[in-house]
Amino acid sequence: MRAERIEPVRRILCVFPRYTSSFGTFEHAYPLTDGVQAFMPPQGLLLIAAYLPANWPVRFIDENISPATKDDFEWAEAVFVSGMHIQRPQMNEICQRAHAFDLAVAIGGPSVSACPDDYPSFDYLHVGELGDATDELIARLSRDPSRPDAQVVLTTNERLPMTDFPVPAYELAEIRKYFLGSIQYSSGCPYQCEFCDIPGLYGRNPRIKSPQQIIAELDKLRECGVTGSVYFVDDNFIGNRKAALDLLPHLIAWQKRTGYVMRLACEATLNIAKRPEILEKMREAYFITIFCGIETPDPDALRAMQKDHNMMVPILEGIRTINSYGMEVVSGIIMGLDTDTPETGDALLTFVEESRIPLLTINLLQALPKTPLWDRLEREKRLVHDDSRDSNVEFLLPYDDVVEAWRKCMALAYRPEKLFARYAYQCEYTYANRLKVPISPEMKSWANIKRALIMLRNIFWKVGVLGDYRRAFWKFALPRLRHGDIEGLIASALVGHHLIVFARDASRGHQNASNYSIRLREASVPAE
């Protein structure tokens, strides 16, 4: 449990590193909004901030919004950093800056938990989830905040039960500057897909928060000003189906009570399509998007990666079922699998057409530590440690052919006319199935209307007038305007613009072919 008071008091600066250009963070959409500057509030660091003793002052800086300043470092007695593998250069750079002020720096989160050896310059490594290692770190800093003589590695052996997690310190973040709100309900996944590090890092028996905790978090997000979409960052929302069914009535009641101010999104396995009782309740709770790791339409490939559960219903049928409950499917796709052939790219493009999924994150296979894939490729001597490549996997097909196939898929899948045709389909066959929610006073407020007007102005001017794909845009937008579907128009135009711009960069070789690769990412470390 969080300590109320620990003396002496220490001032803690929590710094979240910058992301660099990424398909999944939608940064090309930000200039069309009313001031969004970052993707989602970082759950891990805000959780730690809330867990620190109540009498310790905490500053939180997300460097995606603004860099930590000299004043921040001079104020602090210790610095906490957290992030994912792709933020490694930025995390190391924050450490350097903090050391220039002779501050002790602790790093936690998924990257250091999987690869502690990648962070030799940090003073404290926090390996694993919130738990006894966190208590030990707090105790050590309280005793002595100065830099230890040698690196100290603290590993969580006893995790804090999720039911004891405090509400993340959303109040410390500039929450209105995020594209999406975020919330965590569970941790862990019962499956064991070969490439995935979730079971290795967080276990196969999902741990969950109580419905009351989730409602308290939603209330706090609302108090902090979130009115748009909120993403459940859990790796698999139905990892524990019974718990999901227990939670949903609480979400439905909360939405009714608060006037459906939030649209909900989550990640789940595609076999959710076999659970109409869950899908119906999700519709009532106003879930509008599910990210499904479809990975590949090739059944042999799914079997090879131990993702047979994706085949519990035919994939296209599963997508249609989810759409019939008003939820758009977003799909993860992997290229460079051992089962790929020279025809894989074309098969994937056919799948994109048939599935009508607008947003697919198409990545090259990357082996992550603590995965069965990593172990197998290590045995087969097929791990390549070369940051200049787009993947650390020695593919069975020639590397250049795989990267070229990826670029071609990105270019063709995100041609504006193709993308907007898929969005038009979604408007008619998915969004039309959503719950018809009452217009709440918050939605009718001048602040909300002003926000929508700013976004519409930006979209019409920057895309509809100045944009080079304006013809495809207006073909999609005019019917939306005729139907009065302003919300659908704004959401599709924002995300669509990001996808089109990113895919163009990608097809020219200006973007990474893997969300995990750090190629091209070094240059974006902010200079202070």
Rounded least distance, CB 125 to ligand SF4, Å: 24
CA distances from 61 to 17, 46, 122, 208, 291 (A): 9, 10, 18, 28, 28
Other beta carbons within 10 Å of 343: 9
Nearer to ligand SF4, 72 or 197 (CB): 197
Task: Tally the residues of the chain.
Answer: 528
Rounded least distance, CB 183 to ligand SF4, Å: 17
Where would I find the H helices in 80-154?
A: 88-100, 110-114, 132-143
Nearer to ligand SF4, 142 or 192 (CB): 192
Nearer to ligand SF4, 84 or 152 (CB): 84
Tell me how far apart the alpha carbons of residues 225 and 231 are, in angstroms, rounded to a whole number. 15
For 410-471, strand residue ranges (E) read: none
Residue 79 contacts by C-beta under 8 Å, 6 or more apart in sequence? 12, 13, 14, 15, 73, 94, 95, 98, 103, 104, 105, 106
Rounded least distance, CB 293 to ligand SF4, Å: 5
Residue 177 three-state SS = helix
Nearer to ligand SF4, 236 or 331 (CB): 236
Tell me how far apart the alpha carbons of residues 191 and 295 are, in angstroms, rounded to a whole number. 14
Rounded least distance, CB 130 to ligand SF4, Å: 20
CB-based burial of residue 322 (10 Å sphere; 0-12 exposed, 13-18 middle, 19+ buried)? buried
Nearer to ligand SF4, 65 or 312 (CB): 312
Residues 181-210 interacting with ligand SF4 (rule: CB under 6 A): 189, 191-193, 196, 198-199
Tell me how far apart the alpha carbons of residues 375 and 298 are, in angstroms, rounded to a whole number. 23
Interaction pattern, residues 234-273, with ligand SF4; x per rule: CB under 6 A: -xx--------------------------------x----
Tell me how far apart the alpha carbons of residues 410 and 89 are, in angstroms, rounded to a whole number. 26
Nearer to ligand SF4, 211 or 293 (CB): 293
Residues that contact ligand SF4, how many (by CB under 6 A): 11
372: part of which helix (H) or strand (E)?
A: helix 372-379
Tell me how far apart the alpha carbons of residues 424 and 477 are, in angstroms, rounded to a whole number. 9
Nearer to ligand SF4, 203 or 464 (CB): 203
263: part of which helix (H) or strand (E)?
A: strand 263-267
Other beta carbons within 10 Å of 388: 8
Three-state SS across 286-298? CEEEEEEEEECCC
294 binds ligand SF4 (CB under 6 A): no
Interaction pattern, residues 216-235, with ligand SF4; x per rule: CB under 6 A: -------------------x
- The amino acid at residue 440 is S
Interaction pattern, residues 337-376, with ligand SF4; x per rule: CB under 6 A: ----------------------------------------
Nearer to ligand SF4, 58 or 196 (CB): 196
Rounded least distance, CB 377 to ligand SF4, Å: 17
Rounded least distance, CB 290 to ligand SF4, Å: 12
Rounded least distance, CB 296 to ligand SF4, Å: 12
Nearer to ligand SF4, 90 or 366 (CB): 366
Sites of contact with ligand SF4 (CB under 6 A): 189, 191-193, 196, 198-199, 235-236, 269, 293
